[in-house]
């Protein structure tokens, strides 16, 4: 069933809309202001939201932005009493799909709602299809380090222990946190992300814990914080090394006692959340330097998972490259057959300092920029002076040819994660020939 939310302070209009939605088979939740709407959205998966632009607490367009941060896939329909093109443009930029002007023409309104209801049903079916994919299969990789990583995730996901994900930027720590959530007993609860690098320090507490009306200048309504939104589910704190010391104390209390206090409030609130955190920093060193709380570090580090850089994942780089290539070919509709031999060699030899994120971005760029049916190194558009590739280094002193050959074969095998078939192809010899050389 498609869930609607009506955000309208006029009860007569809300009742009329509710009756119409019920008549076409929808289920209705009603909120008379933004605060109630935000609370409903944390409790239910809303498919279609009808929002009056003139709400008693905040502007309806501002509410759309807040709701989108909670649920990305809502269809927003704006309700307005006065048609103002500039306002409608603002609403559409914020994410509104449609606007309705009061008073409503019932048959037209019914047609609009029926159309969006059908779209919501199709979206639900597609989401169900995607969610039928086993979570661990979302983590692409067949190298030994990734098989070990998946095994660890499967072992620890069902417990409520805190998890600390470490590793360089771009390795996919956020994806792994989401997989752990989906494999846990909290899978039906919310998965809320707090990225410490995207919120100014002076706003972090308000974002994380929320606030009461009047807590500070401009706080003209109550705000639900991310901790409260994550109640019953998982709170993922990305780049936790950036969390200020005074908030580290509050986070420790949330983990240990399951309680927190909104800014400006005088009473504590209870929450049941599992905390997964991630960092690309050395928290142990930060503890020694007094920049990270010792007690919080050990509370976060109950289960530690190190996510390896792409350069240590051997043949996974080729698997991921082809996956992203297929994805962006389908997305753009371009007629591309694959990678040229030169582009393939570049993919194997490049060190990928930006890890999976860099690989994904460069292949998207290459697909967009490709002028023929084969991806070439120039399509990646990386200036020569920025390329940090794992090149073969010749010895400074002369060595017998056999020794140089031996070193080069070892180098190519390291590029391919010891994949002999792939190494033989790069060397330009048969697999049997390579096998014989390895025996020698």
Using CA atoms, how far residue 42 sits from 55, 73, 229, 230, 243, in Å, is: 19, 14, 6, 8, 25
CB 37 within 8 Å of CB 11 = no
In the predicted structure, residue 277 carries a pLDDT above the cut 70: yes
User: How does pLDDT run across 120-168, given as a tens digit for each residue?
Assistant: 888 777 666 656 667 788 899 989 999 999 999 999 999 999 999 999 9
Confidence (pLDDT) at 387: 44
User: How does pLDDT run across 286-311, given as a tens digit for each residue?
Assistant: 999 999 999 999 999 999 999 999 98
In angstroms, rounded to a whole number, what is the distance separating the alpha carbons of residues 19 and 11?
12
| Residues above pLDDT 70, as percent of the chain | 94
SS3 of residue 167 by DSSP: coil
CB 235 within 8 Å of CB 258 = no
Q: What is the DSSP letter of 157?
A: T
Q: What are phi and psi of 55, to 5 degrees?
A: -100, 155
3-state SS string over 8-71?
CCCHHHHHHHHHHHHHCCCEEEEECCHHHHHHHHHHCCCCEEEEECECCCCEHHHHHHHHHHHC
Average pLDDT value for residue range 333-352: 88
Query: Where in the chain is CATH 3.40.50.300?
Result: 136-308
pLDDT band at 334 (very low <50, low <70, confident <90, very high): confident
Average model confidence (pLDDT) across the chain: 87
Query: Where in the chain is CATH 1.10.10.60?
Result: 401-439
CB 139 within 8 Å of CB 149 = yes
SS3 of residue 255 by DSSP: helix
Q: How many residues are listed for the chain in this entry?
A: 440
In angstroms, rounded to a whole number, what is the distance separating the alpha carbons of residues 52 and 263?
28
**Among 344, 350, 355, CA closest to 309:** 355
Asked, as a colleague might, if the bond just before 146 is cis with ω within 30 of 0, I would say: no
Q: What is the CATH number of domain 3-131?
A: 3.40.50.2300
Q: Model pTM greater than 0.85?
A: no
Q: Which CATH architecture group holds 401-439?
A: Orthogonal Bundle (1.10)
Confidence (pLDDT) at 439: 83
Show the DSSP H helices in 184-293 as ranges.
Answer: 204-209, 226-229, 245-257, 283-288
pLDDT band at 438 (very low <50, low <70, confident <90, very high): confident
Q: Class assignment of domain 136-308?
A: alpha beta
Pairing of strands 223-224, 210-211: antiparallel
User: How does pLDDT run across 407-417, given as a tens digit for each residue?
Assistant: 788 877 766 66
Q: Which of 13-22, 255-264, 335-344 has the lowest mean pLDDT?
A: 335-344
In the predicted structure, residue 273 carries a pLDDT above the cut 90: yes
Confidence (pLDDT) at 80: 84
**H-helix or E-strand containing 329?**
helix 316-332
Q: Which of 8-22, 105-119, 336-350, 419-433 has the lowest mean pLDDT?
A: 419-433
Residue 408: other Cβ atoms inside 10 A: 13
Confidence (pLDDT) at 176: 96
Using CA atoms, how far residue 103 sits from 106, 108, 197, in Å, is: 9, 12, 45
CATH 1.10.8.60 fits 311-386, yes or no: yes
Confidence (pLDDT) at 133: 60
Q: In sequence order, what are the beta bridge partners of 304?
A: 164
SS3 of residue 181 by DSSP: helix
Query: Where in the chain is CATH 1.10.8.60?
Result: 311-386
């Amino acid at each position: 069933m498609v869930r609607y939310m009506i955000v309208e302070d006029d009860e007569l209009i809300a009742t009329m809309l509710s009756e119409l939605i019920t008549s076409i088979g929808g289920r209705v939740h009603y909120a008379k202001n933004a605060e109630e709407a935000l609370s409903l959205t944390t409790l239910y998966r809303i498919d279609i939201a009808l929002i009056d632009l003139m709400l008693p607490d905040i502007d309806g367009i501002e509410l759309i932005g807040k709701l989108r941060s909670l649920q990305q896939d809502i269809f927003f329909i704006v309700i307005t009493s006065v048609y103002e093109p500039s306002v409608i443009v603002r609403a559409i930029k914020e994410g509104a799909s449609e606007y309705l002007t009061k008073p409503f023409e019932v048959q037209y309104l019914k047609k609009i709602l029926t159309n969006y209801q059908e779209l919501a049903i199709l979206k639900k079916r597609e989401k169900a299809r995607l969610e039928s994919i086993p979570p661990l299969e979302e983590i692409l990789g067949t190298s030994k380090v990734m098989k070990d990583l998946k095994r660890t995730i499967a072992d620890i996901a069902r417990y409520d222990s805190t998890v600390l994900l470490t590793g360089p930027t771009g390795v996919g720590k956020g994806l792994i946190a989401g997989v752990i959530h989906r494999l846990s007993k909290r899978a039906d609860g919310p998965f809320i992300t707090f990225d410490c690098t995207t919120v100014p320090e002076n706003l972090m507490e308000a974002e994380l814990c929320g606030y009461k009306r009047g807590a500070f200048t401009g706080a003209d309504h109550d705000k639900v914080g991310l901790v409260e939104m994550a109640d019953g589910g998982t709170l993922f704190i990305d780049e936790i090394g950036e969390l200020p010391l005074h908030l580290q104390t509050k986070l420790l209390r949330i983990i240990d006692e399951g309680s927190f206090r909104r800014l400006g409030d005088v009473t504590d609130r209870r929450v049941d959340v599992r905390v997964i955190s991630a960092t690309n920093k050395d928290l142990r060193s930060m503890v020694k330097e007094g920049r990270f709380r010792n007690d919080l570090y050990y509370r976060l580090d109950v289960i530690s998972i190190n996510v390896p850089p792409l350069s240590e994942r051997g043949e996974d780089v080729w698997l991921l490259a082809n996956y992203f290539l297929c994805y962006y070919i389908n997305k753009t509709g371009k007629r591309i057959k694959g990678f040229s031999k030169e582009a393939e060699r570049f993919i194997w030899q490049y060190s990928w300092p930006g890890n999976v994120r860099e690989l994904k971005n460069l292949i998207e760029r290459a697909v967009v920029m490709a002028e023929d049916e084969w991806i070439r190194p120039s399509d990646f558009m990386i200036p020569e002076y920025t390329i940090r590739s794992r090149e073969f280094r010749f010895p400074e002193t002369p060595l017998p040819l056999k020794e140089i050959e031996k070193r080069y074969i070892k180098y190519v095998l390291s590029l391919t994660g010891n994949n002999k078939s792939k190494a033989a192809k790069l060397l330009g010899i048969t697999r049997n020939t390579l096998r014989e050389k390895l025996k020698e």
